[in-house]
Structures are given as C-alpha cells and as structure tokens.
Amino acid sequence: MQARMKNPAMVLPDAMEGVQSLYKAMHKGGVPQQTLELVHLRASQINGCSACVYAGIASSKKAGETDERLFQLSAWREAPFYTDAERAALELTEAATRLADHADPVPDEIWQAAADHYTEQELAAIILMIATTNFFNRLNRTIQEPAGTSWG
C-alpha cells in the first residue's frame, strides 16, 4: 500500500510547525505520558487509522507501556489494567472522538468524571491530544497513509 500523496502537514510546512507547537503545549500540561499515549491510541483505534495505531503503539512502548495494557486497550472498560484516572481520560476520548454518534456527545457525567481526576490544565492537554489525534487520523485515512511509514 502506498499513500495517495505526502501528508498534507508535510506538504505545507507551516502546518507542521503549528502541530508541533500543540504537541509541545500538551506535553507540558502535567498529564502522564502513558495516559496521553493511551488517549492517542484509543482515538486512532476508533477511527481505524492504521498509521496512527502503529505509531501509537511504538510511542506507548517508548513511554514504558506494557503489552498487557496495549493488547486490552480496545476493551478498557472490562480490563482491570487501568486506573480510574486513565478510565476517565479514555471515556472522554471516546466521547469526543465519536461526536456525531450522540446529540450530547460529551455529557456532564463524562466531563465530571474527567474533571474529578484532572486539573483544568491537564484536561486541556488531554483535549488537545484527542483533537490532534483526530486531526491526524482524518489526514491519514484520507490519503491512505500506510502503517509503518515515516514522514521524514
């Protein structure tokens, strides 16, 4: 499989600079790296973005994530391997990724569960990770970016 074109964020370098600024900001938000990686990977699984799932697994492993937790991520609700805070972040991720599935995609109970575990700054970092991941999932799915390719 070959991508239809170079990634648009690489074709327009100013776009990549903006994305890199978002990543820098979200990584300064105080959320554990492993949590941000789980958020990225779960959104990518939902969206079926093979390039981001592949990259997300590699990034998660570099951040110290275990195979056990990675293998169970799509079934996180039933798996005993995640903290309450991670569960709240994952539920927020699913809701914010599936916006069109519900009239009230992020109901107060999901928001409050996340707010019970994270500060406003940490929530901002999680939301930025969700949004940026969804952004890249849509780019990659549109251009059919294959898993395992490098943009460099």
Q: pLDDT tens digits, residue range 101-142?
A: 999 999 999 999 999 999 999 999 999 999 999 999 999 999
What's the confidence (pLDDT) of residue 151?
A: 53
Angle made by CA atoms 118, 120, 123, in degrees to the nearest 5: 60
**Does residue 152 carry a pLDDT above 50?**
no
Alpha helices (H) along 48-83: 50-62, 67-72
Of 7-16, 63-72, 82-91, where does mean pLDDT reach its minimum?
7-16
- Above 50 in pLDDT, residue 40? yes
For the four alpha carbons of 92, 98, 102 and 105, in that order, the dihedral sign comes to positive
So what's the architecture of 31-143 in CATH? Answer: Up-down Bundle (1.20)
The confidence score (pLDDT) of residue 87 equals: 98
Tokens 């798996």 map to which residue? Answer: 79
- Average pLDDT for 5-25: 93
pLDDT in tens, 52-73: 999 999 999 999 999 999 999 9
Residue 86 in tokens: 């991670």
SS3 66: coil
| Structural domain spans, the chain | 31-143
pLDDT of residue 90: 98
